[in-house]
Structure 1
Amino acid sequence: MRQFPLEMHHVAPGRVVEWRLRSTAAEACGPDDEPGRRASFNQEKHFNVAEESRAADDPVASWIAVTFEVAGRLDEPALAQALLAFVQRHEVLRCAFRRLAGELACEPFDPAELALEAETVGAFETSGALRDFLVERFTRSIDTLSWPLFVMGAVLREDSATVYLAFDHIVCDGMSMPIVVHEVLTAYEALCRGEESGLPSAAPSYLDFADEQRRRYLSIDARDERLDYWKEFIARGGEFFPRFPLDLGVEPDRMYPIVNEASTLLDAAETEVYEKTCLAVGGKPFMGVLAAVAVCLREAGGPGVYRGLMPVSERGREGWGNSVGWFVNTMPIEFDASPGRDFAQVMAGVRAGFNEMISHIDVPFVRAWELLAPEEFAARSWPYPVNFFSYIDMRRCQGAGRHDEWRPSTHVWSARANGACSWFQRDAGGLHMNSLYVDTPAARRTMGDFQEALRLTVQQIARSGGFRRPVALTAPRRPERTPLDAAAGYGR
């Protein structure tokens, strides 16, 4: 399971059916009701940005989508039942968000009040026309300020189907996507056999996670000692947000259309060797990738000390592993990648920096941002290009043993940005990279050089056990960037 632009996904044409979520109740709660639940820090900041952008007639837009395959002729009633059971199982998917007395209320509909209505959208004769429809459909339909906060549908053919779901970030994160695939298909297959779905009626709720987080951190102030790690990071760098160190050609206070690119860095065999190389020097594969990123940035003109933000999942701490929601904290990480340090030395720095970061993971990023950088917190976006690194090993996700059969893929999209973000995924097919960055001539040159240098660097590490030469300065440019191999075809 890998992440790449929806525009790169080859979905065979067919007849499109969608299932629209409806409530049999007029509203989640009456207009005079007091809020029963509060949104999380992540959700409230996301909603605030959407409100402020709408008021300024400068709306932001983004979505997270997942697609997967069903073999054989689709049983439409069974899939509809599986989709409804999935929505009923996760409380955050049943929520409507609204302002009440200045607070963002997060009010769930009762599961028994929900129903799905099937609608035939139409038949598409070509993959290109279908892909254009899906991109437009997700972009037009996903709206943070409107319920429901996701769309569900399928492309039906005589002998197969492609199922798709697209969500607003306010109800999920990237690690939610494997849960979607596993639960919907597990329930669907059981229903096709005439059995119950095989899943408990309710998962641990993200709303409970949000309540607990607010109880622990809403009352802290900037003097709280739990913010010391952030304060020390800021003192060393001079800013709350660590800057992306290469030239992207952006102007202050301006947002740009984005480039969304994906490619494979290492195939399956190379990735296995890469992992062994990382383990041999006391690190993990994600640490090796981060070490390679730091060296490539340095060789391209960045500083010797890597400073960046890294999202960290909070699912494993209290048993939220099978829950849908936005279980992500974003933390700063810092380590030495200066010239002359070999792979083992840089890896040791990554390991020490990561361990130090994890020991201070408790304080939510949004709360630290609000308390330590209040002027920047008031803005609708990060203030400048920020150094950002994300890594997920999809082989460890729920249902990964059947990913070769289900062929799931994740797709992210954003209308505009002012910097660059890169996500790395490892799956059974190897190590992959997806980058979103501003569409400027400088950014295209910078990111093209960086991505190719990174590819050569990780290949060198896999083949020779370390850094052998200043890759970013001597790496030849490829004549053409190749598209992802058959998109989600997994080697077919």
Structure 2
Amino acid sequence: MRQFPLQMHHMEPGRLVEWRLRAAAGAQGPDRGDEEGKKASFNQDKHFTVAEESRADDDPMASYVAVTFEIDEALDEPALAGALLRFVRRHEVLRCAFRRLAGELSCEPLAPEVLSLEAHHVAEFDDVERQREFLAERFTRSIDTLAWPLFTMGAVLRPDSATVYLAFDHIVCDGMSMPVVVHDVLTCYEALRRGEEPVLPPAPSYLDFADAQRRRYLSIGADDERLGYWRSFTERGGEFFPRFPLELGVEPDRMYPIVNEASTLLDAAETEVFEKVCGQAGGKPFMGLLGSVGVCLREAGGPGVYRGFMPVSERGREDWNNSVGWFVNTLPIEFDASPGKDFAQVMGEVRAGFGEMMRHLDVPFVRAWQLLAPEEFAGRSWPYPVNFFSYIDMRRCPGAERHDEWRPATHVWSARSNGTCSWFQRDADGLHMNSLYVDTPAARRTMGDFQEALRLTVQSVARTGGFRRPVALTAPRRPEPAVARVRRS
């Protein structure tokens, strides 16, 4: 399972059916007695606030997180409808409407039993490209942060197969939720096809996680000792947000259309060797990859000390692995990647930096941002291009043992940006990269050269056990059929 633009997905055309949620007239949330509505997480509150402000200024900030997967048989439409309804009823965050109450963002879920689904025929295609563009536009227009439901569900039906799709607003999910979606829906679908009642592992509600987080950290101040790691990081760098160190050609206070680009860095065999080399150096594959990123940025003119943001899943702190929600904290990390260090030395620096970072996982990023950079917190986006690295090993996700059969994929899209974000995924086929960045001539040159340098660097680690010297960003790039660039305005 990997992440790439929807426009890269070769989805055979067919008949498009969507299942739309309906709530019974006068439906209320579950009876909580005198309990107030649960509080949204800090991530959700910031995301919702940006949507409110953008709508007020007629300047919407559109985005989605989507997943697709395959069913290699004639689709049993009632069984899929039953699976989708069970999926929505199972995850409380998907049944939520969000409301402002005295400044606080409250989550008010509908009771599972008041929900039903209606099937709608929406289109039919015999052309791959026209269908792909239709779906991309539909995902964009059908999801609204300020309106329930916060996702869309459908399938492309063909005589002997189907592609199922679900697209979500980020406020209800994260990237690690996408394998959960696939596992839940297909497990239920297959059970219903057999005439059995589906059996799934417990999935605690994200609302409980979010509410507990908000109540715990809303009262802390900027001088709280738990913010010490953030304060020291900011003091060393001179600013709260670590800048992306290469030229992207952006102007201050301006947002740009994005390039959505994906490629494969290592195939399956090379990735296995890369992992062994990282292990011999005392680290894990993501550490070797992050160290390689740091060296490539430095060779391209960046600083010797890598400074960046790294999203970290909070699912493992309790039993949230089967839940849908936004279980992501973002933390700063820094390490020395200065000239003269070999792969093992850089790996040691990354390992030490990551260990220090993880000792401070508890404080929510958005709360730290609000307290330590209040002027920038008032903005609708990060203030300038920020250095960002994300890594997920998809082989460890729920249902991964059947990904070859289900062929799931994640698709992330955003209308505009002022910088760049890169996500890395490992799956059974190798190591992959998906980047969203501003569509400027400088950014296209910079990111193209950086991606090629990174590919050559991790290949060198896998083949020789160390960095190639030097990492030449001006070397001619060979054709890479696995790369696709998608630009949308």
Q: With structure 1 as the length reference, what TM-score do the two structures score?
A: 0.96
Do 2:275 and 2:284's aligned partners in 1 also have CA atoms closer than 8 Å? yes
| 8 Å CA contact 1:35, 1:107 repeated in 2 | no
Residue 179 of structure 1: how far off its partner (Å): 0.2
Deviation of 1:476 (Å):
2.1
Query: Tell me, what secondary structure is at the counterpart of 1:341?
Result: coil
RMSD of the TM alignment (CA)? 1.5
1:326 aligns with 2:289: no
Q: Matches of 2:28 and 2:334 in 1, distance apart? A: 45
Q: CA deviation at 1:122?
A: 2.2
Q: Which residue of 1 aligns with 2:487?
A: none
Residue aligned with 2:38, SS: coil
The 8 Å contact of residues 90 and 203 in structure 1, kept in 2 or not, is answered as: yes
Deviations 1:396-438 (A, max 9, x none): 0000000000000000000000000000000000000000000
**Alignment correspondent of 2:141:** 140
- Cα deviation, residue 28, structure 1: 4.4
Structure-1 separation of matches of 2:461 and 2:23: 54
Runs ≥4 residues deviating over 6 A? none
TM alignment of 1:128-207, pairs within 5 A: 128-199=129-200, 203-207=203-207
Q: 3-state SS of the aligned residue for 1:311?
A: strand
Deviation at 1:126, TM superposition (A): 1.1
Equivalent AA in structure 1 for residue 81 of structure 2:
A
Please tell me whether the aligned partners of residues 35 and 106 of structure 1 are also in contact (alpha carbons under 8 angstroms). Answer: no
Q: Is the 8 A contact 1:8 1:483 kept in 2?
A: no
1:114-148 Cα shifts (integer Å, max 9, x gaps): 00000011211111111011100000011101110
Between the aligned partners of 1:236 and 1:27, the Cα distance in structure 2 is: 53
Aligned positions of 1:296-445 closer than 5 A: 296-445=296-445
1:260-275 aligned within 5 A: 260-275=260-275
- Equivalent runs, 1:15-94 vs 2, <5 Å: 15-26=15-26, 28=28, 35-94=36-95
Matches within 5 A, 1:102-121: 102-121=103-122
Q: Secondary structure at the match of 1:379?
A: coil
1:98 corresponding residue in structure 2: 99
What is the alpha-carbon distance in structure 2 between the residues aligned to residue 34 and residue 109 of structure 1? 15
Pairwise CA distance, 1:474: 4.9
> 1:37, 1:106 within 8 Å by CA — same for their partners in 2?
yes
Q: TM-score, normalised by structure 2?
A: 0.97
Quote the Cα distance in structure 1 between the aligned partners of 2:243 and 2:294. 13
Please tell me the residue identity of whatever aligns with 2:148.
W
- Asked if structure 1 preserves the Cα contact closer than 8 Å seen for 2:27 and 2:114, the reply is no
In structure 1, the residue corresponding to 2:412 is in which secondary structure? strand
User: SS where residue 471 of structure 1 aligns?
Assistant: coil
The answer to whether the Cα contact below 8 Å between 1:388 and 1:420 also exists between their aligned partners in 2 is: yes
| SS state at 1:412 partner | strand
Q: Distance in 2 between matches of 1:139 and 1:9?
A: 16
Q: Which moved more, 1:75-84 or 1:468-477?
A: 468-477
| Post-superposition offset of 1:470 | 1.6
Counterpart Cα distance in 2 of 1:21 and 1:473: 50
Q: Share of identical aligned residues, percent?
A: 79
CA separation in 2, counterparts of 1:210 and 1:238? 31
* Distance of 1:25 and 1:368 partners within structure 2: 41
Partner letter of residue 207 of structure 1?
A: L
Contact 2:449–2:473 (CA<8 Å) still a contact in 1? Answer: no
SS of structure 2 residue aligned to 1:472: coil
> CA separation of 1:473/1:163 partners in 2, compared to 1, >3 Å: closer, same or farther?
closer
- Stretches of structure 1 that go unaligned for 5 or more consecutive residues are 486-492
Distance 2:123 2:251 in 1: 43
- What secondary structure does 2:363 align onto? coil
- How far is the alpha carbon of 1:392 from its aligned partner? 0.2
Q: Does 1:223 align with 2:223?
A: yes
Shift of 1:37: 1.3
Amino acid at match of 2:104: E
User: Residues 156-185 of structure 1: CA distance to partner in whole angstroms, max 9, x if unpaired?
Assistant: 111110000000000000000000000100
Q: What is the identity, as a one-letter code, of the residue corresponding to 1:108?
A: P
Q: State whether residues 39 and 207 of structure 1, in contact with CA within 8 Å, keep that contact through their aligned partners in structure 2.
A: yes
Deviates more, 1:467-476 or 1:141-150: 467-476
- Structure 2 gap ranges (5+): 485-489
Q: Deviations over 1:63-90 (max 9, x none)?
A: 0000000011100000000000000000
